[in-house]
A and B are shown apart, each in its own frame.
Chain A
Amino acid sequence: MTDINACQAAPEAEFNDYIALLKPRVMSLVVFTAFVGLWVAPVDVHPFLAFCSVLFIALGGGASGALNMWYDSDIDAVMRRTQSRPIPAGRVQRGEALAVGLALAGLSVMMLGLVANWFAALFLAFTIFFYAVVYTIWLKRWTPQNIVIGGAAGAFPPMIGWACATGGVSIESLLMFALIFFWTPPHFWALALFMRDDYKEAGVPMLTVTHGRPVTRRHIFAYTLVLAPFSLWLGFTSVGGALYLAVAVVLNAAFVRGGWQILRRSEEAARADDFAVEKRVFKLSLTYLFLHFLALLGQNWLGAW
């Protein structure tokens, strides 16, 4: 009987566990923003090449997710939200995650170079390096500003998409970067205010823990103010137009108002209604980013300036 029980004690991975290593939910954001960046660029790309480009950008994002799970498996084992991930649950070995991450990183960069161009491929390689090494290994455990700088990794995909089409960087792609870059901190800190995560035990410096919740509220409001001009500026570039500007004005007004409400609330009031405002602003932040990029697509369809 012992050998049968041994099998049950160490569950083997199924295919879905390797898919889970690639963080499919994060990937959906990467796919959408990279696609928009590629599609609104002024150079026409063959639809199949566009599909392949987005696919390999997403695969690169998945590779950095696997590398993140490899390095952070100790944190993931401590925090309740992440305990069921494949490595802490014991279904995938750490070394396997590292191997999957490195192999997919190499494959995605090489294939993007062959599909699109080598500038875009290098850009993807840099993004994977930035997320896996600069964010995960270096900043995440060291500074409460980890979210801010790590947000850059999530902001690169539309720039890579744009680079796939044009082979370069321009003001439009930089502003799409800025849009996601300055959106990440208020989005994540709103989540941190109502998700009582065990970051302290895991040893991750979170702004809510290191500097307190009132400071986090001020930061959220400040970032919504910084974000708004970049969002509107994008409307005056070659990818912008009346539709995009209308959407951007409405969304930024709502987001700044949400940031203001978060700033004005006391902890007692927040706890009394179970963080209703914080939860609403977090949901709004998801809509905010999705509608911005959807508006860029719509504007491209209608014809930009």
Chain B
Amino acid sequence: MQLRVEHELHGRRRSRNVGLGIVLIAFVALVFALTVVKVRQGHMLEAFDHQPRLSLLPAEEPAEPAPNPSQEAAE
């Protein structure tokens, strides 16, 4: 049997290593892309931070502004 520096075994190992490398890089890229998409969709980018924030209050409907009770009382 002819002896070679590279046995067929090394080819199999390389296929495993390269394959796993590609899978891991693809997974990292996927999680990064996922993060970008999720952040762009951005439902809740701010959270409560020990004091009330106006930007966290539920949005009021601009079409019909609620009547201000203090103004009504003044009239």
Interface residues in chain A, defined as those with a beta carbon under 8 Å from any beta carbon in chain B: 1, 4, 7, 11-16, 18, 46, 48-49, 52, 55, 114-115
Contact = CB atoms under 8 A, between A and B. Distances in A.
Interface of chain B, helix or strand or loop or mixed?
A: helix
Contacts of B34: 48-49, 52, 114-115
Interface in B2-20: 7, 9, 11-13, 15-16, 18-20
Contacts of A13: 12, 16
A1 B30 CA distance: 47
B41 interface: yes
A46 B41 contact: yes
Nearest to B18: A15
A11 B11 CA distance: 12
A99 B41 CA distance: 36
A7 B9 CA distance: 8
A213 B17 CA distance: 48
Contact of B13 (A4, A12, A48): A12
Interface of chain A, helix or strand or loop or mixed?
A: helix
Given A1-B1, A7-B7, A7-B9, A15 B15 contact: yes
A18 B16 CA distance: 9
7 contacts: A7-B7, A14-B15, A14-B19, A15-B18, A46-B37, A48-B37, A114-B34
A15 B16 contact: yes
B37 A49 contact: yes
Contacts of A11: 12
B56 interface: no
B29 to A, nearest CB: 12
A18 B19 CA distance: 10
Contacts of A48: 33-34, 37
A14 B41 contact: no
Contacts of B20: 15
Contacts of A49: 34, 37
